[in-house]
Structure 1
Amino acid sequence: MKSHKEKAVGGKLTGLIGLGEQVTWQARHLGLSFKMTNKITAMKNPFYFVDEMLNGPFKILHHQHHFTFTGGYTEMTDIFTFKSPMGLIGRIVDFLFLKSYLHKLLAVRNQAIKSVAEQL
């Protein structure tokens, strides 16, 4: 996600990440720079894995990645749960624009993953 200056700056920096491992990301979204550390909390290769935020801008971030194989293709389904901090103000921000922003961000990221995977 070069457009968001996103890069891994701590934890697992190369190769495939595994159960119990962490990675810290640095990025810029909505005009704000931040770091976020996520940990792989569940994994069953090659069917799914879950990453959860340990430290970062959200009160809660839980991201499930499910993979199904049909007709010679792999389909990935994301289940993305988040909650902003700051109580009522955070809920308003989530409703007004953050949910839509994150949905679009995941779609762009998944398209990039698809493009790379199809070249392998």
Structure 2
Amino acid sequence: MINYLHREQILPAPIEKVWAYFCDPKNLNEITPPDMKFEIVSGGDVKMYEGQVVEYRVEFVRGLRSLWLTEIAHVRENEYFVDEQRVGPYRFWYHEHSFESVPAGVKMTDHVTYAAPFGLIGDVVNAVWIRQRLNGIFDFRYQKIVELFGSVK
């Protein structure tokens, strides 16, 4: 089953500053919950570009580290980028990050399309755990981004 996660956030900052932060893979660690023990293994030492492959290790389940290999499939500077899973914990992962100048700053949108592994069993696990875990990760990210860029009052 295909699943979706959609988040929007307004950042009171110029689009160039927001873009510069999000196109640096090293900043992913700062906006990822510490309990995930997120680590970039390779490919994250340069500014994001189309075709870039980044290898991570991440702990979705306590004590179980997982390889996650993503490719930056599409980039349009100051507008959007897309990361796609090549190897990792999901059967399918497609994450669109878009940035739009608005009067209050930048409207940042995350739209994730994903499918859990293991067919019907994965769908059940998604319903009882994966969906909540992803929401928690993006809740953490939202708060960290507020700390970094502020929030619109």
Is 1:65 aligned to residue 97 of structure 2?
A: yes
Q: CA deviation at 1:117?
A: 4.2
Between the two proteins, the alignment pairs up a number of residues equal to 117
| Correspondences of 1:98-113 after superposition (within 5 Å) | 98-113=130-145
Residue matched to 2:123: 91
Residue matched to 1:20: 51
Task: Provide the alpha-carbon RMSD of the alignment.
Answer: 1.6
TM superposition score normalised by structure 1: 0.87
In structure 2, relative to structure 1, the CA distance for the partners of 1:109 and 1:62 (3 Å cut) is same
Q: Which runs of 5+ in 2 are unaligned?
A: 1-31
Structure ranking higher in strand proportion: 1
Which has the bigger relative contact order, CA under 8 A and spacing at least 6? 2
Q: C-alpha distance in 1, partners of 2:41/2:142?
A: 21
Q: CA deviation at 1:104?
A: 1.7
Q: CA deviation at 1:114?
A: 4.2
TM superposition score normalised by structure 2: 0.70
Q: C-alpha distance in 1, partners of 2:36/2:130?
A: 16
Q: C-alpha distance in 2, partners of 1:113/1:38?
A: 22
Q: CA deviation at 1:83?
A: 0.8
Q: Which runs of 5+ in 1 are unaligned?
A: none
Q: C-alpha distance in 1, partners of 2:55/2:108?
A: 23
